[in-house]
Amino acid sequence: MIQKNNKTGLARALSKMGHCSRSRAVELIRAGKVRLNEVVRRDPETPVRLGRDRIDVDGQRVGTAKKIYLVLNKPRGIVTTAADEKNRETVYKFLGAHLPWVAPVGRLDKASEGLLLLTNDSEWGARIAAPETHLDKTYHVQIGRVADAGLLEALKKGVLAKEGDLLRVKSASLLRKGERNSWVEIVLDEGKNRQIRRIFEGMGVKVLRLIRVAIGPLLLGDLAKGVVRDLSVKEKMALDREMLSKH
């Protein structure tokens, strides 16, 4: 007997199988391009028994894609969406045409740079990005003033953003300073939208550069800008262990 919790919606099933994003799956389904067990289905929530039901897209059977885990050093000026309504360059310009669909894990805004994971393992990516996972993300931030002890303490105590929510960092330390600006290392264990930029905005401090240098135990290292590499088995295991340790 098939248990109800073994079923998932058709759009989500296509995403879980690594075929495309859930939003793209919804488009394909509504356009009548998806068959479930030889029958065209136009409802993205149509129940699917993963591993038992047959799904075809444009007449081609969909199989569970090999899981792919990639690391990219995202340059500044690039957006992380699959397609951009303003025709800006996206992270997909750095990926080979031979790769199956992958999605960014979390976001780095256009002006931010550094470590970005991409995968077709949608459930794993969601766990990495989820605020409740409390996986540390480390950033090096250049700001338009010299950071002193008061500023670092204020970052940890929290700043009330103009939207009304309290934003704080897990830790903040001075990396180096010049006469008029400085570099600060900031660690977050939650991921609110544009959190670091909004914190500094609330303090009246200009962010000059923002680079993500680590996600949990995974380091950006010396990976060149715009270069993509595979996440190693050892690195993925370390990330998985870190996530487990947070629960």
**Is 189 among the catalytic positions?**
no
Alpha carbons 90 and 110: distance in angstroms, whole number:
9
Q: Output phi, psi for 66, to 5 deg.
A: -60, 135
Please tell me the number of Cα atoms within 13 Å of 189 on its side-chain side: 11
H or E, element range at 122: helix 122-129
Per the CB < 8 A criterion, the answer to whether 29 and 40 are in contact is: no
DSSP 224: P
Alpha carbons 102 and 95: distance in angstroms, whole number:
9
Residue from 109, 148, 165, 230 carrying the catalytic annotation: 109
Find tokens 């000059």 and name the residue.
208
Closest by Cα among 21, 105, 35 to 65: 21
DSSP letters for 19-49: SS-HHHHHHHHHTT-EEETTEE---TT-EEE
Mind telling me the catalytic residues?
A: 109
